[in-house]
Structure formats: structure tokens, C-alpha cells
Amino acid sequence: MLASAFAGAKGDSASELSAERIKAHVAYLASDRLEGRGPGSRGELLATEYIAGELKKAGLKPIGERGTYFQPVPLLRIVTSPKSTLQAIKGKTTIDIPCEKGFSGRSQTQKEIEEFDAEVVFVGHGITAPEFGWDDYKNVDVKGKVVVLFTNEPPSDDPKFFGGKALTYYGRWTFKFEEAARRGAKACFIIHTHQTAGYPYSVVRPLVGAQLKRDAGQPALAFAGWLSQAAGEKLLSLAGRTVEGALQEADTKGFKAYSLGFNLKGNISSRVERIVSNNVVGMVEGSDPALKSEAVVFTAHWDHLGVGRAVLGDTIYNGAADNATGCALLIELARAWSALSPRPKRSALFLSVTAEEKGLLGSKYYTRKPLVPLGKTALNLNFDMILPLGVPESVVVTGAERTTVWPTVKAAAAKNHLEIEADQRAHLGVFYRSDHFSMAQAGVPAFSVAAGMKIKGKPEGFARKAHKEFNDKAYHSPQDELKSEWDFSGFVVLARFALDLARDVANADRLPTWNPRDEFRPARDKLGLRQAQDADQEKKSVQTLLNDQVTAWNKGDLPGFMKGYWESDQLTFFSGSTRTSGWKSTLERYRKKYQSEGNEMGRLSFKELSIDFLGPEHALVRGRFLLQLKDAKATGLFTLILRRTPSGWLIIHDHTSS
């Protein structure tokens, strides 16, 4: 039943979803004939023509260049020569690090020759995060120098400190290179360990990469690369250190960067080729004359690694799970959406992007050249590397809770009998490793949809074990091939969930956004999407503060009540014509009046509240208070001015009259 069913909910006339069709798409896209679907290759041509053909068969409108399904993406293919050299020099001692086996990476300057000979500075994790009180670059100038560091970030179990166990963007290798370039470093090398990267060195070993054309004036590293752990041990030994010891230093609060006392000399030769790859895109127009200019966007990357170094005698990196599965699901979703009746109000884009494996380049390019304005893009649902393990009883939607779509996500999950599961791979920074991240950075509410670890009829730990085996033995290797034991029946469940969710968003009265104070919210606001529902959410936050004050007062918890006030000398409190200035003085006033001997706090309540906003950072609250004491009752009016702070709304002015 699950193998071919799109719920016959009332009003739906979508044709049935088919697990067999999805499997057939994977079989073709991951076949040896497509040679690993490398951008700019014959495999790309076959893959993109196939996807475009399927979108056409499904009835989607071509909205690419010149009325086609293709959005050209100009790229530079950067191939580091294996003859490139790297030497560590300390006095008369020279250590040669072999290219590919010992170091890998690419120049960011997009030049054919880059040379450097510079002092090496160890900068820990290479993080500057003022909100967490962490700065690995504090009091050190790395301009013109080579920085060596670890990927990942300081270990934490506290969600308020680097996201706890979940990796933040500070931990991603892309951030390390970006920050090093911003600091003016000449080159940056990440010491690879399986512990910090989450995957073997073989994943970062290839010398072939791609880049979008660099903007004039954009900071760039002469070389951005990796060192194998063995190479890292050799280098650090020149400074009397080890990889394990250096990592412990990097993990320690208060770490200070230091020179390793030797130079790295590099001669990097690169082949730079201009190529044009393609995103594949089709649209199903919405039914509402006003809202059809807005859209939900489904994404999945079609590319993989092409043909490369032989592993177990195989040179074709087929990319069956990564990401023929996501593409196949995207095609099936497009077919089902096109058949929906009645058609949703907003349009839907089905976008299969290129060069995800090269650094999310196809999706980055799309955000620079969107086919539907980002300010009119409601939501991005992304599908990437979904192992076909059977019917899921849980779903992973990391990042959804950070958006105003969250209630709709929960409703769609409940409708499809799916438990929302915390991402058990969050420590690997999965949120920052797929194409939805490009959309999120551009302001669009975006997240990936994936099956959770609970699989119907399978023992606990089955999915976790399968993911670990895939990560250790097949990820980014020729062994990522279609497996006979794969069970695609669960893809129907995920598709149904995604369709229900996206359709509700497409029919909603308003476009969604990121939650207040989320890292991506400023980008959304720049698109002109600060909306009425934002004010509703802020009103709820203010109401919560007032409710917490009432609760604390009625428990006799004066310090708890005072948490609602700004702890500053600039706080002002008026009772009638009597003014009290400062948080401490206000606390003392309350203590004398309500907690001195013989006095009581009574029971407090607020009535007839009105909440208005005086701009994005200030709120005006007016209402009536009632204080019921043992033998008396006090009532009156109050006016509050609140200020939005990093920790939430706080009262900065209180004027009460009896």
C-alpha cells in the first residue's frame, strides 16, 4: 500500500506516488553510464537532460534560459596539480609533505601558479564568535602568514554555547577558510582527523574542485586545504607538539594562538578551466491570480564526484544515495504536485542544482540569480542523501523549528504519523552542508527533509548502524552504488509529508519567515518581509513576560518578579508622582513595601492589556492591575515601556497610578 499511494484526502486528485518509479530514477541516475555526474562532463549532460525530460513529462513549465528547463551556472574548474609541493622549513630541517597523500585543496585566487613562504601560526579552531566569548585570533596578526587549525568547534553540552552537541556554522570548514581570508592570511591548512571532520581523509583528498568566479576585491587564500593527520603530526613535531595535544589546546577556553616556529613553503600549480554547468528547473503555476507570483521551492542536487581515484578497483563515483535519491524524490514530487486538484494558490518550483559537492555552488548561484524573487519565495524544502531503509516512523527537519512554519510542520508530521526526531547527526553540522543553507543565508525559510532513525519493523539501532556503515565505507566513494537490499517504500511517506507541508504553506495567508533573533532573520527582513505575524509573535513574547511576573509575584518570589525589569541604573519606576531610578532601588522599594515585617505581597493580576510597538526595539503596554491583599484591595492603571534585548523583552519604564 505504501509503495504506491498519495493519500486520497478529500480534494486531492494527485496521481499515486510510486516507490518503484523513484527506484527507477535512482537506478538510471546512479548508473555507470552517467560516469558519476560530474559538473561539465558527459554525465552532467545525460543527468540534466533526463531530469528536464521528467519535468516536461510531468507538465511543468520551463522557466530557465530561453524557455528551457536549464539555468546556466558559469563555473571555474580548479584542478590542483599533483606535482604541487609543500615543505615545512625550520632552520636546516626540511619536511616534504606529498601532494594528495599529505595535503590537498585548491587555490582560491583562481590563478595557475601560487607561491608562498611564510610563518605558520596555530589558531586552534580558527573561530571568532563574540556571542560565545571566543576568539582564536585575539591579539594575533596573521596577515601574510599561513594559519593551521582544526575544523569543528569547542566541545559543549550547553545549547547556549556553540549550540551544545550540534555543530554551528563556526565549526564548518567553509567558515575556517572564510575567516582566514578575512584576516588576510596567505594560506590556511586544516589538520584532518576523523573525530573533528566526521569523515575520512579520503573525502577531502581529491584535487579537483570548482568555484564561482571571484568578485573583484573579495578576500582569497593562495591555498585553502587540508593536511592528513599523519602530515599534521610531522608538522607539529617541529614545534614539539602532537595532533592530540594541539586539539586539546584548541578545545580549551582561553586558548591563545601562537607561532609554530617554522615556515611553510608552497608551490601550487593549478589548471583553471571555464565551464558552464546547469541547474534544472520547472514550475507549476499557482491558482491564485495575486499569489501565483510567490512560490515554494523544492531542491535536490543532481551532481556527484564524477570519475576519480580508484577504490577497490572502481573509478566511477556513482552517487546513488548522494544524491540520486534526492533527485528521484524531487522528480516524483514534481509529478504529484502537477497533478494536484485543486491547484495550490502559490506556485511551486522544482530545482535540481549543480555543484553541491563543490561547495553548494549551484544553489548559491540561484540565490544570486533567482527565478522567483527571494522576497516572494515562501519556503525551501531540500532533499539530500536519503538512505532507502524502509518506512520511517520519524522524520528529521532540522531548522524547521527556527521558522514560523514550525506549527505547520508539526501538523503535517502528525497527519502522516511521523514523530519529529532530533537530528542524530547534528554534531556533524549537517544543517550547514546542503543546499537549503544557501537559501537560508539569503533569507528564505529553508531546511532539509530526511527520514529519522525509527524504521517500521526494524530493531532499534538498525538505521543508525546503516548510516555509520555508509559514512565509513561508501560516502564519497565509488561504493555509493544502488544496493539490491535498499527499500524505497519509505520515500512515499516522506513525499506525502513534504506535499502536505508545502501545500499548506502555498495556501497560507502570509509568507513565512525566520523566528525573531534567528541568525537568518536579518536577511529575511532585508527582503521586506517584516510582517504582521511578526508583531503577533512579539506580542506573545511580551505577554509571556507579564505572565511570568504575575506567577512569580503570587509565589512570593520578588527576585523572580524583578527578572522582568531591565537590570540597569537607567530603569525608571513611577508610582503616582514618586520616581525611583535604577533596578536596585526599585527592588528595594518593593521589598520595603511588600516584604518588610507585617506586610504581604498578596495576589496580583493584570487586566485589559493592550500591547503596541513603537518600532522594532520598543513596546508600549497599558493595562489595569488588581492586587488582592488579606484585608484590602488595590487597583489602578499602569503604563510600561519595554525594550527588546538579546535575552528578550524587558521593562525599562513603569508608571503606575492607583
Residue spans in the chain of domains classed CATH 3.50.30.30: 81-272
pLDDT computed for residue 407 by the predictor: 96
575-601: average pLDDT: 86
647 has pLDDT over 80: no
What's the half-sphere exposure (Cβ side, CA atoms, 13 Å) at 453?
Answer: 14
Q: What percent of the chain has a predicted confidence (pLDDT) above 70?
A: 96
Quick count: other Cβ atoms within 10 Å of Cβ 356?
Answer: 27
108-134: average pLDDT: 96
Residue range 81-272 forms a domain whose CATH class is: alpha beta
**pLDDT band at residue 598 under the 50/70/90 scheme:** low
Provide the CATH number for the domain formed by 533-657 in this structure: 3.10.450.50
Q: What percent of the chain has a predicted confidence (pLDDT) above 90?
A: 81
Report the mean per-residue pLDDT for the chain: 92
416-445: average pLDDT: 91
Residue spans in the chain of domains classed CATH 3.40.630.10: 2-62+285-530
Q: Please name every residue paired with 115 in a beta bridge, in sequence order, or none if there are none.
A: 267
pLDDT computed for residue 15 by the predictor: 56
- Could you give the 3-state DSSP secondary structure of residue 221? coil
- Could you give the 3-state DSSP secondary structure of residue 460? coil
498 has pLDDT over 60: yes
Quick count: other Cβ atoms within 10 Å of Cβ 284?
Answer: 26
**Range in 12-16, 325-329, 398-402, 651-655 the model is least confident about:** 12-16
Residue spans in the chain of domains classed CATH 3.10.450.50: 533-657
Burial class (CB in 10 A: 0-12, 13-18, 19+), 76: middle
pLDDT computed for residue 427 by the predictor: 79
| 29-84 per-position pLDDT tens digit | 999 999 999 999 999 999 999 999 999 999 999 999 999 999 999 999 999 999 99
Is-contact 487 389, C-beta < 8 A? Answer: yes
CATH architecture of 2-62+285-530: 3-Layer(aba) Sandwich (3.40)
| 177-202 per-position pLDDT tens digit | 999 999 999 999 999 999 999 889 99
532 has pLDDT over 70: no
1 has pLDDT over 50: no
Burial class (CB in 10 A: 0-12, 13-18, 19+), 11: exposed
Q: Please name every residue paired with 258 in a beta bridge, in sequence order, or none if there are none.
A: 122
For 534, list phi and psi in degrees, rounded to 5. -65, -45
pLDDT computed for residue 530 by the predictor: 55
Q: What are the residues whose beta carbons fall under 8 Å from the beta carbon of 644, sequence distance 6 or more?
A: 538, 616, 617, 618, 619
| 247-274 per-position pLDDT tens digit | 999 999 999 999 999 999 999 999 999 9
pLDDT computed for residue 312 by the predictor: 94
Q: Which residue has the higher pLDDT, 148 or 628?
A: 148
499-509: average pLDDT: 96
pLDDT computed for residue 413 by the predictor: 97
Instruction: Supply the DSSP symbol for 324.
Output: I
**pLDDT band at residue 5 under the 50/70/90 scheme:** very low
505-527: average pLDDT: 92
pLDDT computed for residue 597 by the predictor: 67
Q: Which residue has the higher pLDDT, 346 or 425?
A: 346
Reference 593, options 545, 561, 548; nearest CA is 561
**Range in 10-24, 159-173, 323-337, 373-387 the model is least confident about:** 10-24
Is-contact 288 435, C-beta < 8 A? Answer: no
- The set of long-range contacts for 89-95, using a CB threshold of 8 Å and a minimum separation of 24, is 89/117, 89/262, 89/263, 89/264, 89/265, 90/238, 90/261, 90/262, 90/263, 93/238, 95/234, 95/235, 95/238
Is-contact 339 289, C-beta < 8 A? Answer: no
pLDDT computed for residue 9 by the predictor: 38
* Strands, sheet with 578-581, edge to edge from the N-terminal-most edge strand: 578-581, 572-575, 648-657, 633-645, 618-628, 603-613
556-573: average pLDDT: 91
pLDDT computed for residue 183 by the predictor: 96
107-111: average pLDDT: 96
| 317-353 per-position pLDDT tens digit | 999 999 999 999 999 999 999 999 999 999 999 999 9
